[in-house]
Amino acid sequence: MYQRIRYDLNQELIKISESGLYKEERVILTDQKPEIKVAYPVDAPPKKVLNFCSNNYLGLANHPRLIEAAHQALDHYGFGLASVRFICGTQDVHKRLEKKIAEFYGTEDAILYSSCFDANGGLFESFLGTEDAIVTDALNHASIIDGIRLCKARRFIYDHSDMKSLETVLKRAREGVDIWSGPGLSKEPVPARNVLIATDGVFSMDGDIANLKGIVTLAKEYDAVVMVDDSHATGFFGKRGRGSMEYCGVMGEVDIITSTLGKAMGGASGGFTTGRKEIIEILRQKSRPYLFSNTLAPVIAATSIAAFELLDESDHLRKQLMDNTAYFRKEMTALGFDIEKGVH
């Protein structure tokens, strides 16, 4: 029975390889840092290389203070909880981290997930339905795209970071264009009940920054909710590392923020959603990845608190990253490379 699908799978793998898209894993033999030892292929002698491709933006993945916090958490809380949150998977450390995240962003509440992919996957379907509309940037992250696919709301896509395109799409959603009242019912346009605009804060492929000021302005005009995935900005973007909202001057004006603990904030795993308290409470009641996945490991929760505390105490690491970025841009440009404009 398996032979047919085996043939099909092998043909697909051949196509992936021939297209140059076959992915191979490089085995790292050290902790995550600027200079690492890599075995590639796996059986090749290890060699030292400079690491320019991780998301360890602040160098916290092997920071001594975080390692010590992890040791203490393991001793106190153990390795795991073997439960979802609402049965017996919530420790005080999880509530403290959620409070810390909300304080960090100046939001009303926060909820933890195993990853930001899960946070995005469990967001939209929890409170949007067939009467609603989601307006999404054409270059949003795969997790936003997949989360929207799981939701029954009508989907609209606007051209990447194009405010004219966004306004056109918002008008269509508000006027009910392409939104019908349902099978067998009237074909007259039905205006969307609720509209949500979804965007990355910093886009993961090209690194460009969303026009959050423009998005928030249009959201107010068309009575829309704004959601930002800030995974590639949390902890180091903005004057205090509060992300793209701080950088763009819209702190407190974004309704929903999703992000990760797996990049600048230590690089382990974990994600979260933070924002309006009613939305967070609905997610606790209805978000499937939250309800049916094991709770975030307590050692990660405790260590993430230490990471946020480190950033609250000093912006040295953020400033160092900005200085390194400016130096790298300057020297690469001097060597003749064409570098995308930006500050990061």
**Per residue in 41-60, is it b (16+ CB within 10 Å) or e — as a string?**
eeeeeeeeeeeeeeebbbbb
Q: In the numeric block, which tokens belong to residue 13? A: 């793998």
Q: Closest Cα partner for 273 from 230, 302, 209?
A: 230
The structure tokens listed for 315 are 């912006």
Helix, strand, coil distribution of the chain in percent, nearest 5: 40, 15, 45
Residue 41: cis peptide before it, omega within 30 degrees of 0: yes
Tokens of 301: 């929760």
Q: At 279, is the secondary structure helix, strand, or coil?
A: helix
Q: What are phi and psi of 327, to 5 degrees?
A: -65, -45
Cα separation, 315 vs 13, in Å, equals 46
Burial (Cβ within 10 Å: 0-12, 13-18, ≥19) of residue 194: middle
Give the whole-angstrom CA distance, residue 210 versus residue 200. 7
Contacts of 288 (CB under 8 A, 6+ apart): 121, 122, 125, 126
Please state, in angstroms and rounded to a whole number, the distance separating the CA atoms of residues 244 and 343: 12
First-residue to last-residue Cα distance in the chain:
52
Contact 342/208 with Cβ under 8 angstroms? yes
For 318, the 3-state DSSP assignment is helix
Which residues are catalytic, by number?
204, 232, 263
